[in-house]
Each structure stands twice: as structure tokens, then as C-alpha cells.
Amino acid sequence: MDDVLAIEGLTVELDLSRGRFAAVRDVSLTVGRGEIVALVGESGSGKSMTALAVMRLLPEPPALIAAGAIRFRDKDLASAPEDVLAGIRGDRIGMIFQEPMTSLNPSMRAGPQVAEVLALHKGLDGKAARKRVEELFARVRIPDPARRFDDYPHQMSGGMRQRVMIAMAIACDPDLVVADEPTTALDVTTQAQILDIFRAFRDEDGRSTLLITHDLAVVAETADRVAVMYGGRIVETAPVERLFEAAAHPYTRGLIASIPNPDEDIETRGRLTEIAGAVPALWAMPKGCAFSPRCPRATPRCADEQPSSETIAPGHVVACWNREDAR
């Protein structure tokens, strides 16, 4: 598959008062043309940090790309100068941020905010820009686009604001969209509608998406391939069906086991399954596998030695010294 994005050995360090620590550790990941790749894990696992590193939106300092490459087409974004990055962000790569209410300007009408992107990258203004924005609003299923063009963000629901952010991200027909938790805090019906939009981008436009989420239900419905992240590292990567049928890393198994099963009888359902413990702080990261303090299968080797990655099936890669039987 033709890779639109190829992250190779990416390490991002943060210079904190306690010292310098790696928040993203030797991450390698590809997103092919017309592919939705989900990056999943608990809060604090490094997902959003990876997304912001791809866009080079991390404040430098305290953040520093210490190693690796972020290849987008023929450019390495990890080392590209700011003028090159400014021409790519919003044009060839669009980003949907986690909270639209803080990403949109509350004192500016929604339509003109999207029109700004078109003016900057495509030179559109006036009636041409307005027409294009209304087309984008219709594409992301905002009802009555002409009227909504002049609404302020506070006049819109959370789902509507998220659609404005999506319209802004795709305004210039980018090759890649980076979506950071695009369905967080939305109701189930709106969430399903947003996911339909992403699938349409893939199926109708051949657009690639890097989808950051902690919600495995979103992954199951939307993604083609999944990378599971923990402690700043990718611990398992697999096609989505393979992952749910034959997850091999104990952390992935724990995430899947924690999904509520609506088919169970409410009287016999009992307590939800949980993963004991919490994601370690950057300054308290174990020497070996970061998941070893929480892992029911951990051995002394797990605590002392970082596991190497092993391909156990086509497209299925696991980094674990004592992985589960992948059945």
C-alpha cells in the first residue's frame, strides 16, 4: 500500500522540572492511502503527543523530537523548517482537535473561520469562499448550511461544532486527516453520524485518517488497522478484525475485556472488568515493559528488559515477552 504517512522510530522528549523524559518512545507507524488507522490506549499513553508531533504543534521547548522521522510524501516533517510546515498544515494535512469549543474562536462566526483556511491556502475569498464553505458544511451534514455559516460557535451543539472542525480540516482536500478524539463527549447518535463521515471520506474520497481514540467501540466500527499504545510505545499492531479476534498483548486483551457487553442480562452482568493500576508517570517508567507492574503475566524479564517486536501473523506485530495465545 502506498503510504501517505510513515513514522519511523519517533522519540519525543519533554524537558520538565524533574528532568528530561521520553513521552513517545521509538514509535513506528504507517498510514496508507485510503486507510483509517486508529491509535488507541488509555489517557497518558502518548497518543495525542504522537498526533501533535506529526503536525509539529508541540511547543519546542519543552518538547523535543529527539530521534526518528515523520515522512509525509517526500518530506520529513520532523526536520522540516517552519515555512514548509506552514504550507502543509491545513492544506495537505488537516487536523481535528479534541475539543472544538476551545479550538474555534468564540467571537467569530463559524463560516468565516473555515473561510480563513481557504483564503490562506487556496486564495479564495468573498462569494467563492462562502460557496465552498457551504458545500463543506453540507458535506459534513450540517443542516441549512447557508444559515449556519453566520452562527457563532456557542449557538451550535457540540456535534455541530465538531462538524465545523471537520469541515475546516478537509477544506483544502488534504491527503491526510489527523483526528484527535473526534467523538469525545458526543452522544451515541451524533457519534455514529461523525463516524459515518470518516468512513465516507475513506470510501468516496480515498482520504487517509490517523484516528486517535481511547474508545474501542469507535475502532471496531471505523478503523482498518489498529495500533495499541502504552507508556509511549506501540505494543501491538494488527488489522482491526484480527485484533479483536486474536489480540496477543495482555494490555490489548485487558482493553477489549473492559468493553461492556450489551447482550448480557443486566441481572447477571456483574462488575465491569478493569485493568488494575494506572499508567505510570513519565519519571516513574519501568526499566523494561511499561505495562509489567499491571500485567498478570509479567515475569522478572518483563520488568528488566524492553520486549522486542515480533510479527506473529500478516500485519500483526506484538512487543511482549510473554504474550497471550493469539486465538
Q: For 282-311, what is each residue's pLDDT tens digit?
A: 888 888 999 999 998 889 999 999 999 999
Whether omega for the bond prior to residue 300 falls within 30 degrees of 0, making it cis, is: no
Residue 102 has pLDDT above 80, yes or no: no
**Pairing status of strand 93-96 against strand 176-180:** parallel
**Contact between 321 and 299 (Cβ < 8 Å):** yes
Local confidence band at 268 (pLDDT 50, 70, 90 cut-offs): low
| Residue 49: closest CA among 181, 238, 177 | 181
> What is d(CA 183, CA 293) in angstroms, rounded to the nearest whole number?
31
Residue boundaries of the structural domains of the chain: 33-54+82-92+174-262+271-310, 100-171
| The pLDDT of residue 267 | 59
CATH of 33-54+82-92+174-262+271-310, one of 3.40.50.300, 3.80.10.10, 3.40.50.11540, 3.40.250.10: 3.40.50.300
* pLDDT tens digits, one per residue of 113-170: 999 999 989 888 889 999 999 999 998 889 999 999 999 999 998 888 988 998 999 9
Q: Compute the CA torsion angle 66, 68, 74, 75 (nearest 10 deg).
A: -10
Work out the average pLDDT over 82-93. 90
| Band (264; pLDDT cuts 50, 70, 90) | low
* Mean model confidence pLDDT for the chain: 88
Q: Of residues 150 and 327, which shows the higher confidence score? A: 150
Q: Which strand (E) or helix (H) includes residue 158?
A: helix 158-170
pLDDT higher than threshold 70 for residue 271: no
C-alpha span between 325 and 71 (Å, rounded): 34
Degrees to nearest 5, angle at CA 82 with 232 and 163: 65
Confidence band of 217 (pLDDT split at 50, 70, 90): confident
Task: Read off the pLDDT of residues 164-199 as tens digits, 9 standing for 90 and up.
Answer: 998 999 988 899 999 998 887 777 888 888 888 889
Residue 22: enclosing H or E segment and its boundaries? strand 19-32
For cell 485518517, the residue is: 209
Residue 303 · residue 292 · CB < 8 Å: yes
pLDDT, one tens digit per residue, over 50-76 is 999 999 998 888 999 999 999 998 889
Nearest to 179 by CA among 86, 95, 65, 269: 95
List the one residue out of 192, 189, 167, 187 whose CA is nearest residue 177.
167
Residue 1 pLDDT greater than 60, yes or no: no
Alpha carbon dihedral 153, 155, 157, 162, in 10-degree steps, equals -20
pLDDT of 265 > 60? The answer is no
Q: How confident is the model at residue 262 (pLDDT cuts 50, 70, 90)?
A: low
- Burial (CB < 10 A; 0-12, 13-18, 19+), residue 48, is middle
